């Protein structure tokens, strides 16, 4: 026997909770399945010093502004975890955890969600599993020969474990710049990127990014061509730790190496660099293994969508994976906006089905 719901939401992080808020308002019968033992989603696993790029009031989920953190302009990861936990309680969202979803199946009139504990049937499934469980490490010759330590952003916690070592940081985004900034205070660091890093102006933080992205979305809805958006500002936000790294002269990137050796990395021009550890800050991919039974066509790991709705399986909506599932959907405020439009469309689907009966 299977439990039946109008909607099953897979993932209890920020996107899943935002969806839950609007599903509650729409008076739909739903459940949120989360594989984490406690609330907080991916925020429970970020490195210790990570903070939001903007003040709390710029990062709300729907219905309730994030409270300010006493003594802090930019909230810490722990503060965000506490906010998400309190949000669940505030709106009495039906989250089941820890529950691991093993697969979503087409069973005719329903989508069946098989978990490690039970089976659910739903008219609609919202996939909101994010990307944290799918770290991406590019392949380079000699990778298995390197005798030092290799880790991805998802395993990094603090710089103290690298004290006195020689560390190579790979990647040209915010995580690479921030990790380089703090590891360089205790270790000899080298930063390598595939292309020169693009730094945002010093006075740009999450508030400016929010305003620019909002203008971009407004233009998109009005049918006006995008003239740059946030990408035109650069890739790396100059948070205090990165500004400090620049002042110390360590914010200089070398070209990407061509291979790994037993004791370090090397370039095809003949020079090499010995190191004790390599930190791969090379991004993530959508965590979509649970959708494999649906046999959806993907392009570079991305499921084709119309807004947040799967083009191939209209009963499936995807939230929180990036701009391809809605403007800034991988951010707190973006999750709120995309969840609102997705649930409005879901409600229309149910009303249309009822009218057709």
pLDDT of the residue at 1: 67
- Whether 183 shows a pLDDT value over 70: the answer reads yes
- Compute the 3-state secondary structure of the chain and give helix, strand, coil in percent, each to the nearest 5: 30, 25, 45
Write the pLDDT tens digit of every residue in 95-143. 999 999 999 999 999 999 999 999 999 999 999 999 999 999 999 999 9
Write the pLDDT tens digit of every residue in 208-245. 656 666 666 666 566 666 555 555 556 898 989 999 99
Distance CA 262, CA 282 (A): 21
Write the pLDDT tens digit of every residue in 29-50. 999 999 999 999 999 999 999 9
Instruction: For each of the domains in the chain, give its residue range(s) and CATH number, in order of start.
Output: 3-134+285-356 (3.50.50.60), 143-199+235-280 (3.50.50.60)
- DSSP, collapsed to helix, strand or coil, labels residue 303 as coil
Which letter does DSSP use for residue 307 in this model? T
- Point out which residues pair with 318 in neighbouring strands: 127
Cβ partners under 8 Å of residue 175, min gap 6: 153, 281
Contact assessment for residue 328 and residue 213, using Cβ atoms and an 8 Å cutoff: yes
pLDDT of the residue at 215: 64
Distance CA 201, CA 234 (A): 8
Of residues 146 and 302, more confidence is placed in 146
pLDDT of the residue at 223: 66
Residue 357 pLDDT class (50, 70, 90 cuts): very low
pTM strictly above 0.85: yes
Distance CA 340, CA 346 (A): 10
* Count of C-beta atoms within a 10 Å radius of residue 293: 14
Cα 207 from chain centroid (whole Å): 19
26 burial type by CB count under 10 A (0-12 exposed, 13-18 middle, 19+ buried): middle
């Amino acid at each position: 026997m299977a439990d039946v719901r109008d909607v099953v939401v897979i993932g209890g992080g920020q996107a899943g909770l935002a969806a839950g808020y609007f599903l509650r308002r729409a008076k739909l019968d739903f459940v949120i399945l989360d594989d984490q033992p406690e609330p907080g989603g991916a925020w429970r696993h970020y490195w210790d010093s990570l903070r939001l790029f903007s003040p709390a009031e710029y990062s709300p989920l729907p219905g309730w502004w994030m409270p300010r953190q006493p003594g802090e302009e930019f909230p810490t990861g722990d503060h965000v975890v506490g906010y998400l936990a309190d949000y669940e309680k505030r709106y009495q969202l039906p989250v089941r955890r820890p529950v691991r979803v093993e697969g979503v199946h087409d069973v005719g009139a329903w989508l069946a969600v098989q978990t490690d504990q039970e089976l659910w049937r739903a008219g609609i499934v919202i996939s909101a599993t994010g990307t944290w469980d799918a770290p991406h490490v590019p392949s380079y010759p000699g990778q298995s020969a390197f005798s030092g330590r290799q880790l991805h952003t998802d395993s990094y916690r603090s710089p103290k474990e690298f004290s006195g070592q020689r560390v190579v940081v790979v990647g040209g985004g915010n995580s690479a710049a921030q990790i380089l900034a703090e590891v360089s205070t205790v270790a000899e660091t080298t930063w390598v990127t595939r292309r020169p890093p693009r730094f945002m102006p010093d006075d740009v933080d999450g508030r400016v990014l929010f305003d620019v992205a909002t203008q971009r979305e407004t233009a998109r809805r009005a049918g006006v061509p995008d003239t740059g958006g946030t990408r035109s500002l650069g890739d790396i936000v100059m948070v205090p730790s990165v500004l400090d790294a620049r002042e110390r002269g360590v914010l200089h990137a070398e070209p990407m190496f061509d291979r790994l050796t037993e004791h370090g990395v090397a370039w095809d021009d003949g020079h090499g660099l010995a190191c004790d550890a390599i930190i791969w800050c090379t991004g993530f991919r959508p965590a979509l293994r649970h959708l494999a039974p649906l046999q959806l066509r993907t392009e570079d790991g991305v499921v084709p969508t119309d807004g947040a709705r799967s083009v191939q399986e209209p009963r499936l909506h995807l939230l929180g994976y990036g701009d391809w599932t809605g403007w800034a959907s991988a951010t707190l405020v973006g999750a709120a906006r995309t969840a609102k439009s997705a649930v409005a469309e879901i409600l229309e689907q149910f009303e249309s089905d009822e009218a057709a009966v």
